[in-house]
Each structure stands twice: as C-alpha cells, then as structure tokens.
C-alpha cells in the first residue's frame, strides 16, 4: 500500500501542503512440516508513515512583538507486527499449539502540534512480545482437558533531547522541553491454567485452575 501528499488536499490549518507518505507491506506463509503431523503459519506487516503535525500558535518574536506562528513538523512513525503459529499432533488424542507475536513501534516528535512548539517533541518506542502454548488432551468422547501457558512482555521507552523548563502561555503557545527526560516502563505478565470440559447429557461442565503473576519496573 502506498499513499503520498500529492494525492491529498492541503490541511486548511497548515501554511502549505506538508510532506506526507505511507508505505505498508506484508505477507504470510503457511504449510505442512510433517504430513498429518505438524503445520505452521507465519505472517508479517510493516508500516512506514511520514506524518506531520501542524502548529498554530501565538508567540513573541525577538523584538517582543506578539505575532502568529504556523509550522508543519514531520512526525515519522515506524510500526512492525509479526506472528507465527505451530501445530503439532503428539498422537491421536494429544495436540500441541505454539503461538508467538511480536510488535514494535517508534514514534518521533510526539506531543507537537496545535499550541505545542517543536521543542516539546519527544520520541516514544514500544515493543510487545506474546508467547502462548496450548496442550489439548481428548480424555474420552465426552471429556477434554486443556493446559495453557501465556507470557507477555511489554516495554515503553521515552526520551527527549531538550532538558529546558516548560513554558506555558494559555491559548498562545507551549514551549521549552517536554519534561520526560529518559524513562522506561517494563511489564512482564504470565498466566498458567488447566481446564477440563465434560459433556454430561444436555449439560456442559467446566472446572479448572488458573495462576497469574506480573512484575512492573
């Protein structure tokens, strides 16, 4: 997929038509690993977005005159999403399924636009990883047992190259630094569960146990 500013009208709040472009591509692949035994599925997608933010503010120039200020600032974004699945038949009654998903994003000059000047921009990056394992056992014609495990890891990074104090003039402009410094959030979560499902005449019964835990830094 492709899009460019030449296909778009100008933003009426921007002084000129700002540069803009979207490039997106992806695909998937699937097939058999062992006949009637194992199979896989892979998919991936990437987006490259050269977006922009429009600043419309009122500032004070070098001669201390109050003057309107308008600017378009390029705010690139890079996004990736990839996942895979693997299915394996252990025997006629037991199957194993493994899934993995990875996604990441990197955003530049977040927070810029409207009254916020370019100096307020900060970079934000994030990654997500998810691993899932499932073992299914057919105990009888009416009873099925499932054992599942899931692990999720999330990280968000923020950084800026401007450590100046923030300057806020209501309804006019917000300048100075973005006030985030260098920071990160790390979250790790896991979950394990075992569940048995039984069909009893016209009813379905479920019973099981679930354990969950998480850490945050």
pLDDT in tens, 128-181: 999 999 999 999 989 999 999 999 999 999 988 778 888 899 989 999 888 888
At 121, list the tokens. 């921009």
Q: Are strands 203-216 and 166-169 parallel, antiparallel or unpaired?
A: unpaired
For position 25, what pLDDT does the model report?
A: 96
Q: What is the pTM of this model?
A: 0.83
Mean residue pLDDT across the chain: 93
Q: Kindly list the domain boundaries of the chain, sorted by start residue.
A: 2-216
At 209, list the tokens. 């146990």
For position 133, what pLDDT does the model report?
A: 98
- For residues 79-93, average pLDDT: 95
Q: Is residue 209 classed exposed, middle or buried when 0-12, 13-18 and 19+ CB atoms within 10 A define those classes?
A: exposed
Do 189 and 212 touch, CB atoms closer than 8 A?
Answer: yes
- What distance in Å separates the CA atoms of residue 30 and residue 38, rounded to the nearest whole number? 11
- For residues 2-21, average pLDDT: 85
Closest to 205 (Cα-Cα) out of 195, 213, 197: 197
- What distance in Å separates the CA atoms of residue 199 and residue 143, rounded to the nearest whole number? 7
Least confident of 13-27, 35-49, 93-107, 134-148: 13-27
Proportion of the chain above pLDDT 90, given as a percent: 73
pLDDT at position 188 over 90: yes
């Amino acid at each position: 997929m492709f899009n460019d500013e030449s296909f778009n009208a100008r933003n009426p709040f921007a002084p000129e038509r700002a540069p803009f472009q979207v490039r997106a591509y992806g695909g998937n692949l699937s097939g058999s690993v062992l006949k009637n035994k194992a199979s896989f599925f892979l998919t991936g997608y990437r987006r490259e977005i050269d977006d922009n933010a429009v600043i419309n503010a009122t500032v004070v120039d070098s001669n201390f005159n109050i003057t309107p200020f308008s600017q378009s600032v390029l705010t690139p974004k890079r996004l990736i999403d990839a996942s895979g699945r693997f299915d394996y038949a252990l025997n006629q009654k037991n199957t194993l399924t493994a899934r993995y998903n990875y996604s990441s994003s990197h955003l530049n000059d977040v927070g810029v636009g409207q009254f916020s000047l370019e100096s307020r921009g900060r970079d934000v990056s994030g990654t997500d990883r998810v691993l899932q394992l499932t073992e299914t056992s057919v105990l009888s014609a009416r009873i099925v047992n499932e054992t599942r495990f899931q692990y999720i890891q999330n990280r968000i990074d923020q950084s800026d190259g401007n450590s100046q104090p923030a300057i806020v003039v209501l309804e006019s402009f917000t300048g100075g630094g973005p006030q985030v410094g260098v920071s990160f959030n790390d979250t790790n979560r896991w979950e394990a569960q075992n569940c048995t499902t039984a069909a009893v005449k016209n009813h379905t019964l479920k019973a099981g146990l679930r354990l969950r835990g998480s850490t945050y830094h």
